[in-house]
Amino acid sequence: MRLIETPSPNFGDRRDGAKPEIVVLHYTAMDSAEAACRTLCNPETEVSAHYLICEDGTVHHLVDEEKRAWHAGAGSWGGAGDVNSRSIGIELANTGFAPFAAPLMDALEELLSGILRCWSIPPHRVIGHSDMAPGRKIDPGPRFDWQRLAWSGLSVWPEASEADPKQFCAAAKAFGYSAAVTDEVLLKAFRLRFRPQASGPVDRVDAGLALDLANRFGVDGSGATS
């Protein structure tokens, strides 16, 4: 992994003594990593992330992990707001419509491994921008390979199962989807990550996947849901 120090002026102190406990993945939605880097380092934009990974695997270190980068915006995960104060943000150079480059994914795995180890962040706390801001954000999008991260122990993937569709919303919220959105928006965000080809109303597969995630990684710490 080639790491380049590219300081961004867009950061502040983490609030109320918060420390990183979540990693949020984004895509840049720009034509090039160079353009994204300029945006993330421009004080007029008031946006940043801790890292930007280019298509060739080069990693730009923009903001120190101890500081609060400006990448997440409004939303919540696991019942906690001000995600910026609780997270490390990683921007991935991708337009949102193309597969993620192999060198980029290799660098992401190496970077994530170090971050999770340094801050004792469990894999289920590696999320997408769309998870914490459903209905407002869709990145890293349906082309991102969440299963690859899960196989590497750097995120999670649900076991295939089925359950009563009425259990879906409670289970998804127990897993971490705590933003105040409609049931339809919640389902869309969940499917974007775990069933991007699915359509129609919530079904037994949605419920089974969400229940498996809630039982294993529920926000109450025990994995149990009622």
Domain of 170, in residue numbers: 165-217
Is residue 72 over pLDDT 80?
Answer: yes
Can you tell me whether residue 135 is helix, strand or coil? Answer: coil
Spell out the residues 6+ positions from residue 223 whose beta carbon is closer than 8 angstroms to its own. 214, 215, 216, 217
Is residue 226 over pLDDT 70?
Answer: no
List, for residues 16-62, the tens digit of each pLDDT value: 999 999 999 999 999 999 999 999 999 999 999 999 999 999 999 99
List, for residues 92-128, the tens digit of each pLDDT value: 999 999 999 999 999 999 999 999 999 999 999 999 9
63 domain-assigned? yes
Cis status of the peptide bond prior to 140, with omega within 30 of 0: yes
**One-letter amino acid for residue 60 of the chain:** H
Reduced to 3 DSSP states, what percent helix, strand and coil does the chain have, rounded to the nearest 5? 35, 15, 50
Say if residue 115 is in the same domain as residue 82.
Answer: yes
Count of domains for the chain: 2
pLDDT class of 165 with cuts at 50, 70, 90: very high
Say if residue 94 is in the same domain as residue 200.
Answer: no
8-state DSSP, 100: P
CATH classification at residue 71: 3.40.80.10
Q: Where is the domain boundary, 100, 128, 151?
A: 151
159 domain-assigned? no
Say if residue 125 is in the same domain as residue 204.
Answer: no
224 domain-assigned? no
Can you tell me whether residue 72 is helix, strand or coil? Answer: coil
Partners of residue 26 on adjacent β-strands: 91
Say if residue 140 is in the same domain as residue 183.
Answer: no
Is residue 225 over pLDDT 50?
Answer: no
